[in-house]
Amino acid sequence: MTTSVEAGVEAPEPPAFIDPRKGAGGWLSQHVGTAIVCGFLGYILGHWLGNYIGSAYPYIANSGQNSLTDFLALLFMVTGWLLGIGALNYPLAKIVGREAKGEVQYTGWTRYFRYNLDHKVVGIQYVVGVLLFFFTGGLLAMAIRTELLNPTVHVFSADTYIKIVSEHGTIMMMMASSVIVGPLGNYFVPLMIGARRMAFPRIEAFSLWTFIAGYFVIFSALAYGGFPTGWTGYAPLQTQAGPGMVSYLFGFAVISVGMMTAGFNLAVTIINYRAPGMTWSRVPVFVWSIIATAALLTLASPVLTAAGLFGLLDKVDQTAFYVTEHGGSSYLWENLFWFFGHPEVYIMALPGFGIVGEIIPVFCRKPLFAYRIAAAGMIGVALLSFFVWQHHLFQSGIDPDMRPLFMLTTELISIPTGFIFLVGMGTLYKAKIRYEVPMLFCMAVYFNFLIGGVSGVFLSDVPVNVTVHGGFFVLSHFHYTIMGGLIFAFFAGLYFWLPKMTGRTMNKKLGLWHFWTMFVFFNLTFFPMFVIGMLGQPRRVFTYAKNLQTLNDFSSIAAFCLGASFLIFVANLMWSQFIAPQKAPANPWDSLGLEWQTATPIPAYNFERIPVIMTDPYHYSEEGAPELADFGHDPPVHASSFTARTDPNQYE
């Protein structure tokens, strides 16, 4: 079989097809620098406008806290940021009835600092963004563990400590919600389904820059004095908090808009832009995980947006959605927050499952065991995740008669999760495993998630939950499921796909050092917290019983070593990609995935000829297995059921 790249055939550029190499055209050269300047000017304008409006209302001017000013400053800052990066050029031109200016072509490294319509550029921009957020959240974690080295000698005051904990949790949760969907989902989904680009490139780029703006809004809470609520933002603490709470609420609203648009775009792309022959039974398991996640993003994120806006109205306009003494209800926030918050756990976990399911057949040289069960398990998890949120409210005083129902639904969700886990075990069974760095991270995901999953069964049981709720046992469980699952899977994906993304190979020896230090010190950090929690230490409290100091010191020292392990990854990344780069082979892992069947570097349109999919990508070590795809047809392929997916003119 000969691809168009190998044959030297250059397909003509479709006339109505948006060139993904182009960015936003507008009234000036727009990039991150102009976005920062416009965001700063917007902040000043919003702050002035808020003070001007507030001065006309005595109840605001005399309150000592003008939340309206804070809100307008942040709102104008985000608007200025999006204007400065060029995200609003196209819609604003359409709104005023003018023809939008054509996109300006950008090449070279500068395109990564601009509003770009190429899903591959957006994916790499996401990689940099989530690593930055992870780094800042990690520094806050180091501050937390420094404080917990001693139960009585304090580095921070109680007020400062709870604000550090709150900022750490919020940044990490919002970063984790896009840590795989943003970088790897946007980059590889079109490649894996044989598409030339995302369905809505402008929406894709908009979701990225909105996500980054939301991070800056949440991080600005530190400048406003922070917020003391933890990452969950519970009322009545929320309504009693200072101006940093406005950053929290508005930041959640901004990020949820980015999550919602990203999920919608991914879902439309997967449903409508699959290559000819890619039936649902041939869709890669990573794509199955992304479409399940996209459904959660699209349906759950608006609830968080509404919850944040209600809280902003309480702070800015003195409404009482969450103020019990004025007719509102703090339970309303808890229900809205966790109706989003528990699907969010699977927004983070499902893409990790997809990455592992995609990688392990490559290094086991076996077909993925029970592929359809894996896909069904992901859809089952996505569906059931909307029916378990109140297990977070067992201690809140809700009707006790509701507890058995949500205990049952929480137990039920372990069934499709178990399906996904067993698919991996079946693939590993009797396999001749190649223990490359990506595979080691995948094995760690199963180890860590097993511990997190088993501890989660305890927490779904009402009597145990009542006993350990609000303690370090819950904290340890959560980190095992999210960090132990999601972050390890993210690094597995990076090590696996970076040779395709950059054309440069990562250093294997440094990769092994990174894996073993991260795996060992992760477990040494968080496993003792199960014991600490069972012995009664509560979360978010900066003092504790003296008999727990040894365990806390052990956990803190391990946490510092865990943080250092990420520096090994940064060193590996800088060395292998910039200082001493080595060209990667075209397909270093001998993968059958469609993303490896195109040239490296990847052409602007991914595939010069739309592939016709012949089978699924998991026929490893099978004699007489069919070729994955046929690249010999010029688009469009004249098949009635696939015309809209293959005709480039339909992509606009």
Higher pLDDT, 651 or 594: 594
Higher pLDDT, 219 or 15: 219
What mean pLDDT is predicted for residues 174-186?
Answer: 90
Quote the pLDDT of residue 8: 36
Amino acid at 255: I
What mean pLDDT is predicted for residues 145-150?
Answer: 96
Rounded to whole angstroms, the Cα distance separating 635 from 614 reads: 16
Rounded to whole angstroms, the Cα distance separating 612 from 189 reads: 16
Quote the pLDDT of residue 521: 98
Residues 6+ apart with CB under 8 A from 637: 276, 610, 612, 646
Residue 258 has pLDDT above 50, yes or no: yes
Residue 82 has pLDDT above 50, yes or no: yes
| Band of pLDDT at residue 634, cut at 50, 70 and 90 | low
Residue 573 has pLDDT above 60, yes or no: yes
What mean pLDDT is predicted for residues 149-154?
Answer: 94
Residue 103 has pLDDT above 60, yes or no: no
Residue 567 has pLDDT above 60, yes or no: yes
The single residue listed with the structure tokens 């400053």 is 73
Quote the pLDDT of residue 59: 60
Residue 50 has pLDDT above 50, yes or no: yes
Rounded to 5°, the CA angle 630-633-636 comes to: 125
Higher pLDDT, 183 or 25: 183
Tell which residue, 485, 452, 522, has the closest CA to residue 138: 522
| Band of pLDDT at residue 101, cut at 50, 70 and 90 | low
- Residues 445, 423: contact at Cβ < 8 Å? no
432-447 confidence digits (pLDDT tens): 999 999 999 999 999 9
Say whether 555 sits in a helix, a strand or coil.
helix
* SS3 sequence of 162-198: HHHHHHHHHHHHHHHCCCCHHHHHHHHHHHHCCCCCC
Residue 536 gets the label, from left (phi > 0), alpha (psi -120 to 50) or beta, of left
Task: Using alpha carbons, list the distances in angstroms from residue 606 to 118, 195, 205.
Answer: 10, 7, 18
| Band of pLDDT at residue 625, cut at 50, 70 and 90 | confident
470-526 confidence digits (pLDDT tens): 999 999 999 999 999 999 999 999 999 999 999 999 999 999 999 999 999 999 999
Quote the pLDDT of residue 167: 95
| Band of pLDDT at residue 324, cut at 50, 70 and 90 | confident
Quote the pLDDT of residue 639: 35
- Residues 284, 192: contact at Cβ < 8 Å? yes
Q: Which CATH superfamily is domain 116-579 in?
A: Cytochrome c oxidase-like, subunit I domain (1.20.210.10)
* Domain spans of the chain, in order of start: 24-115, 116-579
DSSP state of 651: G
Quote the pLDDT of residue 104: 57
Residue 16 has pLDDT above 60, yes or no: no
Among 197-201, 354-358, 397-401, 406-410, which is the least confidently predicted range?
397-401
Quote the pLDDT of residue 9: 36
Residue 124 has pLDDT above 80, yes or no: yes
What's the sign of the alpha-carbon dihedral 342, 345, 351, 354? Answer: negative
Rounded to 5°, the CA angle 91-93-94 comes to: 65
Among 19-28, 37-46, 66-75, 612-621, which is the least confidently predicted range?
19-28
Rounded to whole angstroms, the Cα distance separating 255 from 344 reads: 13
Higher pLDDT, 482 or 101: 482
Residue 538 has pLDDT above 60, yes or no: yes
Quote the pLDDT of residue 648: 36
Instruction: Determine whether 162 is exposed, middle or buried from the number of CB atoms within 10 Å of its CB (0-12, 13-18, 19+).
Output: buried
Mean of pLDDT over the chain: 88
Tell which residue, 429, 428, 361, has the closest CA to residue 592: 361
Higher pLDDT, 285 or 104: 285
| Band of pLDDT at residue 53, cut at 50, 70 and 90 | confident
% residues pLDDT > 70 (the chain):
90
What mean pLDDT is predicted for residues 136-162?
Answer: 95
Residue 12 has pLDDT above 50, yes or no: no
